[in-house]
Copies of this chain bind each other. A is one copy, B any other.
Amino acid sequence: MADDQHDRPAAEASPSPAAGGLTRRRALLGGGILGVAAATGVGGYAAGKASADDHTAPAGIVPFHGPHQAGIATPAQDRLVFGAFDLQIETAAELRELLREWTRAAELMTAGRPTGTVAGHPEVPPEDTGEAEGLPAAQLTITFGFGPSLFELDGRDRLGLRAKRPRALRPLGPLPGDELDPARSGGDLCVQACANDPQVAFHAIRNLARIARGSAVLRWTQLGFGRTSSTSRSQATPRNLMGFKDGTNNIRAEDTDKMRRFVWVGREEPQAWFRGGSYLVARRIRMFIESWDRDRLSDQEAVIGRDKVSGAPLTGEREFDEVDLDIKGSDGLTVIPPDAHIRLAAPKINDGQSILRRGYSFTDGIDARTGQLDAGLFFLAYQQDPHRQFVAIQRKLGVGDALNEYIKHVGSGLFAIPPGIRRGGYVGQGLFER
């Protein structure tokens, strides 16, 4: 069993029926529910041996290396596990060591491989926790971020990195309507693990937490069971828990001009090391779905500004018809009401600003205070400058959005997402270089 340190044996790399002893061909042909996973699994296995930044990587593997971190422009995967960490170390050298170790582990896991031995020497604990053994890479991406507190905590230059702080990594500050739970907010570091198999995403966060032992500890996590955004033209628009299509006018990765103007940090950033990065705003948005469900259809559509079934703006007939904020009805009022969500979020009334949304629906049991479902949207948005973009838009939404009757922001995080990682390098490497 010593030789299974990095390569999964063939019998493990694809689901096998109870009778055992099937061939890869059988797995590829599929059969029942597992057919697709099996097919992807074979790709994942093969690619474990290919170069991870090979743009011809087999299906199931998202290249880890590149100019930007994966998991931003990557077509949004179906499942999310997100973790925010608090540091327990006191020097930049220790942070660098953690980031090196995390990078190595992420390279392996995103290629569908374990972080180390699943079953090595009998007398030592396995290096990898094992629950993803036999599963394909499932488009896993692991995206790392740095919170403001990494650079300055209570006014202290805690790690000697303050001079390297990205320009716009200043706390978001209080926003209208916020009811933030500190236990679900903040963090010195974050890791966004997205995959099409939740067990693969969970395995990633768990193993990174394990590797961080003694250096960083999980502060909060969030499971997202279903994506609520499309980030590629190849994806349909999913519905959120209000039953509406969400993110119809989201930035798509194919809009390279918008990605450059609104998502990637460019030359406006004085910290050269951070160019090619982005900023992530994470907001846990509780939806009061029981109240929403009691609202009449016409009001739901007026609150959002779209048709519930088709997703068309109230001024159009099809989902992607232009949102016309000026058209008036026979009553002389604008068809899209003054407080409609799509009006207040529209680039047109936000100085042209836009953000790349990449959120997920969540459900975390029952709210003990009310007996209602603790469910909603875990909003993730990538942008070039969170103050010019998210904060400015949210100041409008937080005050005027008709949707505020049905939602509440209860958790918040801001993270600087370093640029992509080159082969042999590690995430945030520029922090430690002159």
Q: Give the residues in chain B near A404, CB-CB below 8 Å.
A: none
Q: Mark A164-206, 1 if CB is under 8 A from B, else 0.
A: 0000000000000000000100000000000011110010001
Q: Which of B122, B129, B219, B241 contacts A243 (CB 8 A)?
A: B129
Instruction: Please tell me if the beta carbons of B34 and A240 are within 8 angstroms of each other in the complex.
Output: no
Q: Give the residues in chain B near A223, CB-CB below 8 Å.
A: 223, 225, 363-365
The CA-CA distance from A12 to B244 in the complex, in Å, is: 12
| Chain A facing B: main interface SS | loop
Q: Which of B124, B202, B309 contacts A133 (CB 8 A)?
A: B309
Instruction: Please tell me if the beta carbons of A234 and B17 are within 8 angstroms of each other in the complex.
Output: yes
Instruction: Please tell me if the beta carbons of B290 and A123 are within 8 angstroms of each other in the complex.
Output: no
Q: Give the residues in chain B near A75, CB-CB below 8 Å.
A: 32-33
Q: Give the residues in chain B near A281, CB-CB below 8 Å.
A: none
Chain B CB count within 10 A is highest, among A129, A130, A139, for A130
Instruction: Please tell me if the beta carbons of B225 and A199 are within 8 angstroms of each other in the complex.
Output: yes
Q: Give the residues in chain B near A19, CB-CB below 8 Å.
A: 233, 320
Cβ of A368 within 8 Å of any chain B Cβ, yes or no, is yes
Cβ of A294 within 8 Å of any chain B Cβ, yes or no, is yes
Which A288-318 residues have a C-beta within 8 angstroms of B?
289-290, 293-298, 300-301, 307-310, 318
Q: Mark A224-245, 1 if CB is under 8 A from B, else 0.
A: 0110001011111101111110
Q: Which of B119, B123, B293 contacts A308 (CB 8 A)?
A: B119
Chain copies in the assembly? 2
Cβ of A110 within 8 Å of any chain B Cβ, yes or no, is no
Cβ of A338 within 8 Å of any chain B Cβ, yes or no, is no
The residue of chain B having its C-beta at the shortest distance from the C-beta of A123 within the complex is B296
Cβ of A162 within 8 Å of any chain B Cβ, yes or no, is no
A interface, size bucket = 35 or more
Q: Give the residues in chain B near A217, CB-CB below 8 Å.
A: 371
Known: A15-B236, A33-B196. A225 touches B225 (CB 8 A): yes
The CA-CA distance from A221 to B225 in the complex, in Å, is: 15
The CA-CA distance from A364 to B373 in the complex, in Å, is: 14
Instruction: Please tell me if the beta carbons of B366 and A219 are within 8 angstroms of each other in the complex.
Output: yes
Q: Give the residues in chain B near A373, CB-CB below 8 Å.
A: 206, 209, 218, 221
Q: Which residues of A contact B (CB under 8 A)?
A: 1, 4, 9, 11-12, 15-21, 31-34, 36, 75, 77-79, 81, 118-126, 128-134, 139, 183, 196-199, 202, 206, 209-210, 217-223, 225-226, 230, 232-237, 239-244, 252, 289-290, 293-298, 300-301, 307-310, 318-320, 361, 363-366, 368, 371, 373, 375
10 extra A-B contacts, CB within 8 A, seeds A1-B307, A20-B319, A36-B36 = A15-B235, A124-B296, A126-B297, A202-B226, A202-B375, A221-B363, A221-B365, A221-B366, A223-B365, A364-B365
